[in-house]
Chains A and B, each alone.
Chain A
């Protein structure tokens, strides 16, 4: 699926730009975005290192395991294929907590750590495991308690009540998350049970 989507995005873009007689748009955006991608990755190094360092401390102190133990009934239902004591579970929970609390820059490092742990118990290293698909479904459609960035924008735009959208966001994300969990569950069975 990703092959087709990727191809269509580029081919349709080139076609439309050609119709408008502006081929230079394609050249500029291709080169520009390639450089932007590298810049983003390098900027990520600092924040990744910081949060992974903190997470290692939390791990060694037993905090991550305590979190995983507390939420075990929930995680057992969502991730039947991950062993209860596996470090992947702790990283997944840290990532979801960061997402829920709107700590955007902490979510990515924890999430990438979780992917590494999940990859270590994945039988086919080039194909997404069921647990990875579930994790990403939760991740891209996560309940949000504090949409920090948008509240800041509303505040600066002079809103009478910048936080009034917290409840609507909570509702929308709860619906989205339920659908994501349901769809993931159904598709997991359709695609066959594998680790």
Chain B
């Protein structure tokens, strides 16, 4: 299973590239020139997201470095303890929507400290693999086309994060405990 998985992830990109290029070539596409035309847009899009990214990363960084995120976590702890959610994973759940790198750091630390095959290690793995960095995605995606009014997007994204968190706790307890 593991060997198969590693083979699949190692081969997926090369096979994908080979397929597109060879198929396009036989369909009469001028592959090199077409690639250049598409790649030209890359720079503009990347540069256009800068102001949005700066705004979001400043807020996330201040929120995190000042200790607000940890404070929020310690407020949540007593409530979640009653429901049976291990408090160790709360910082991960709170960090996940804001910062992919930050969350990955916490997840890696939990996995290494408690062991990858402990309940906390498995829960951290599932949580990290399940959701995306909602704030980051909204900022970058909307920013790239100059949208400033997000309407209900943020609410939907955060609701989904919360649901995924509870679903992770449920399924990990169900599959691995006893």
A residues contacting B by CB (< 8 A) are 1-2, 5-6, 9-10, 12-14, 16-17, 20, 25-26, 28-30, 32-34, 36-38, 40-42, 44-46, 48-50, 52-63, 99, 101-103, 108-109, 111-113, 115-116, 118-119, 125-128, 132-133, 136-137, 139-142, 144, 146-151, 153-155, 157-169, 171-173, 175-177, 179-180, 183-184, 187-188, 190-191
CB-defined contacts of A157 to chain B, threshold 8 Å: 108, 111-112, 115-116, 121
Q: A175 vs B174: C-alpha distance in the bound complex, in angstroms?
A: 15
Kindly list 10 other residue pairs between chains A and B, CB separation below 8 angstroms, not including A37-B50, A175-B167, A176-B131.
A2-B154, A48-B41, A53-B38, A61-B29, A112-B45, A126-B147, A128-B150, A140-B134, A157-B116, A161-B2
Chain B residues, Cβ within 8 Å of A183:
155-156, 159-160
Count of interface residues, chain B, beta-carbon cutoff 8 Å: 96
| Residues B115 and A20 in contact, CB atoms below 8 Å apart | no
Q: Given contacts A136-B157, A146-B5, A153-B108, are A172 and B125 in contact (CB under 8 A)? A: no
Indicate if the CB atoms of A57 and B21 lie closer than 8 Å: yes
B137: shortest Cβ distance to chain A, in Å?
5
* B11 vs chain A, min Cβ distance (A): 12
CA gap between A116 and B111 in the complex, in Å:
39
Decide if B36 touches A53 in the complex (CB within 8 Å).
yes
Q: Mark B102-124, 1 if CB is under 8 A from A, else 0.
A: 00100110011001110001100
Q: What residues of B have a CB within 8 angstroms of the CB of A2 in the complex?
A: 138, 150, 154
B20 and A63 within 8 A (CB):
yes
Residue B163 lies at the interface, judged by CB distance under 8 Å to chain A: yes
Q: How far is the CA of A2 from the CA of B127 in the complex (A)?
A: 25
A32 / chain B contacts, CB cutoff of 8 Å:
61
Inter-chain CA distance A180–B156, complex, in Å, is 6
Residues of chain B within 8 A (CB-CB) of A176 are: 130-131, 160-161, 163-164, 167
**Is the CB–CB distance between B147 and A148 below 8 Å?**
no
